[in-house]
Amino acid sequence: MQVRPIKHYARVQIHVIIPPNYYVINARHGQAVTFLAGVISSRTNGEQTEQVFRRKNTHDLPSENETALNTRNSPNTPYCLPSQYSSITMKIPKLAFIFLLLVCLVVYLTYVKRRFETRKLSKPLLEQLSRTAQVVSETFQYGIMFDAGSTGTRIHVFQFHLESSAAPKLGSETFKAIKPGLSAYADDPEKCKAGLLELLKVAKQTIPPAQWSSTPLALRATAGLRLLPGEKATQLLDKAREVFEASSFPHRPNSVAIMDGTDEGVSAWITVNFLLGGLHGSEVPTVGMLDLGGGSTQITFSPQDEKTIQTSPIDYVTSFQMFNSSRTLYSHSYLGLGLMSARLAVLGGVEGQPGGSQELVSPCLAPDYTGEWEHAEVTYTLKGQKAGEPIYESCLSKVEKMIYKRVQKAEEVKRMEFYAFSYYYDRAVDLGLIDEKSGGSLRVSNYIDGAKKVCKDMEAGAGTNPFLCLDLTYISVLLQELGFPPDKELKLARKINEVETSWALGATFYYMESLHRH
């Protein structure tokens, strides 16, 4: 094989394209190269020359004498390494080939491994997707709450859309009420079971059978049972537990209980603010809540003034956690100051004691009125007081005397927005101040003026409700004793977003949260 000289310069950089049977090395001044074969491109001062060498067979390899050129005698001729250095030059393409082979092997093994793992995990992946679908279906949660009030028992069946990091969304509510309340069966507790079973049918008709076993069931009794002797109340609760134990819904020992008055107020506050959006973030401020039941009345709000917390009785301030947030509330329930209990007290009766043949004579009734009134399964004989001073003034004096120093005033309520429910709502409807279905707004002075008008009309023999004068007078005094001035505006609602504004929804949330904590 002939070697054609490449023009010599101080520095030569040789670039090689290497097919399988070719190799090359770089050469610098003072070095020589041995070429088996190759396409050599050298760049020198912008000029490029190419020398092509191809080994046709192993016998074409130059001998040691053929390649040993004297560079001192031929400065323009590239030097060729002696044969003992040719093995060194051979290592370079061999290493490159081995490296390339290893890379290909790694790529191939990685591909095979991934294919194997994909096939191996396909079944668990399907199972995981199946479980995910199941979780999606389980984002619908039901809850059942029995409201055992003083005048009746009500069932609320709620459907929720659960969200992991936020307050749940209410999907729907099913509601039914029956009369009388559980306290009416104090002397024959067994009879209360029929009404509870009737209401349970509503739950079973509403909730898919597949979800019965995961639907929490609870009953909370309010003022009606709080006012009963302890033994009688316990017997009624035991009968309710028997009904629950025979149902298909899960329950715990605390599923049936008498609700503390403060818890009732807090639960109603949760209901209202959940429906108004005040519990879904800080953008919507919370509102205060006023509830006037038959046996008790509640006031609950979130204090914005530290002075309110510092000056209030210690048991008026409560804290709790819900929907990943902590809340501090001013909340108190006044037992015995519900509308029916207050009415009895103003008339001169005593809660829980038989009326017998004794007449209750009151200036809050029309002078010529005689009749009977049934409260908590006790029948009272009533009679109006003979005309003297105007009915309103006489009745107002009786009410103020009955409520004197029984209510704590909170100054902060003057500046807060409040919603009022239950008998606040009903008596406003009786006066024609709000629409019966949609509710509305009014001022405390509307109750005051309404009481004066109704009492005056009653003196003239007008009016069909013998207790409306007394009830309105009591409501107007109660609100002012709680700290609401005559010009304070209140919002009245029976429903918000088509959901009853009772404590039941809030109590259901509270009960479900307790189950998750334990």
Q: Are 139 and 161 in contact (CB under 8 A)?
A: yes
Whole-number pLDDT of residue 282: 67
**502 among the known binding-site residues?**
no
Active-site residue flag, 264: yes
Alpha carbon distance 175, 508 (integer Å): 14
pTM above 0.75, yes or no: no
Whole-number pLDDT of residue 94: 67
- Dihedral Cα 292, 294, 295, 299, nearest 10 deg: -10
φ and ψ at 78, to 5 degrees?
Answer: -65, 145
**Alpha carbon 311 to chain centroid, angstroms:** 32
**281 among the known binding-site residues?**
no
Residues of the chain with pLDDT under 50: 1-89, 117-137
Where does residue 483 fall: left (phi above 0), alpha (psi -120 to 50 degrees), or beta otherwise? Answer: left
Q: Which residue reads 């040691």 in tokens?
A: 64
Alpha carbon distance 391, 376 (integer Å): 27
Listed in sequence order, the residues at least 6 apart from 97 whose beta carbon sits closer than 8 Å to its beta carbon are none
**296 among the known binding-site residues?**
yes
Using CA atoms, how far residue 408 sits from 72, 230, 304, in Å, is: 118, 27, 18
Q: Are 478 and 241 in contact (CB under 8 A)?
A: no
* Residue 361 β-bridge partners: 383
Whole-number pLDDT of residue 469: 97
Whole-number pLDDT of residue 452: 97
Using only C-alpha atoms, what is the Rg of the chain? 46
What mean pLDDT value characterizes the chain?
80
Q: In what order do the strands lie in the sheet with 153-161?
A: 169-178, 153-161, 140-148, 217-221, 256-258
Q: Which residue reads 């060194």 in tokens?
A: 88
Q: Are 380 and 397 in contact (CB under 8 A)?
A: no
Could you say which DSSP state residue 63 is in? P
Q: Is the peptide bond before 180 cis (omega within 30 degrees of 0)?
A: yes
Q: Which two tokens stand for residue 489?
A: 């505006």
3-state class of 21 per DSSP?
coil
**288 among the known binding-site residues?**
no
Alpha carbon distance 13, 62 (integer Å): 23
Whole-number pLDDT of residue 351: 82
**Alpha carbon 20 to chain centroid, angstroms:** 70
Whole-number pLDDT of residue 280: 77
**304 among the known binding-site residues?**
no
- Catalytic residue, from 264, 412, 481, 500: name it: 264
The residue ranges of every structural domain in the chain are 13-93
Could you say which DSSP state residue 23 is in? B
Nearest to 450 by CA among 421, 413, 475: 475
3-state class of 441 per DSSP?
strand
Please list, residue by residue across 125-136, b when 16 or more beta carbons sit within 10 angstroms of its beta carbon and e when fewer do. Answer: eeeeeeeeeeee
Q: Are 336 and 295 in contact (CB under 8 A)?
A: yes
